[in-house]
Amino acid sequence: MKVFIIGLGGVTNGGKTTLAKRLSKQLPNCSILCQDDFFKPESEVEVDERGFKQYDVLDALYMEEMVRTIHSWMKNPTDSSVSITESKSTHKSLKSTEDIHILIAEGFLLYNYEPLNEVWDRRYFLTIPYEECKRRRSTRVYQPADPPGYFDGHVWPMYLKHKREMEENTNNIVYLDGTKSEEDLFSHVYNDIVQELETWKNFGMTF
């Protein structure tokens, strides 16, 4: 059984979840794993001197559990806690690769955790400008809710910090403009993945 793992990272409210869901419906045997599902309970998340909960850092997540979940899926994609999305249609060039199982892991801190670096076959990163990110964030309802000043005081600074660290330590990332339409983003990433899978198949590479 062959496995292919896609990382879909990026800024908060950059469109990661929407893109992951669209891709999963068009790719064969595709599952989605959300980093947000590995957040620690609020009581275990640290608070800074301003009273801001430190959610946008690795310590706010059960990252070891996320790694274990991915490794478990890699060993047996059909018998995993990660559910498979039912594909609506599959690209004609992929119909002969029914033994391929695809995992899309989406989240805001995928490429800053060393143990995950070895699992990615393809890495994407969605970006949007500060003003657009702040506008989108203001329309979302979070539990717990963002306190006044949280975006500027914690969310955006942590995004910039982690993005710099990622750029210094990680290669082969495909950057995506999150201000483009959902259709444009989907088409770009989907065609890129199909091309990558076709290359692996044509050259007889091991998944």
By annotation, the residues acting in catalysis are 36
Tokens of 1: 């059984």
Q: ω before 144 within 30° of 0 (cis)?
A: yes
3-state secondary structure of 113: coil
| Of the candidates 205, 191, 186, the residue with the CA atom closest to the CA atom of residue 93 | 191
Contacts of 77 by beta carbon, 8 Å cutoff, 6+ apart:
1, 3, 29, 31, 84, 101, 103
Give CA–CA dist 188/155, Å, rounded: 28
Q: Are 176 and 126 in contact (CB under 8 A)?
A: yes
Q: What is the biggest distance separating any 2 CA atoms in the chain, rounded to whole angstroms?
A: 57
Axis crossing angle, helix 16-24 with helix 182-202, rounded to the nearest 10: 50
The angle at the Cα of 189, spanning 183 to 190, to the nearest 5 degrees, equals 80
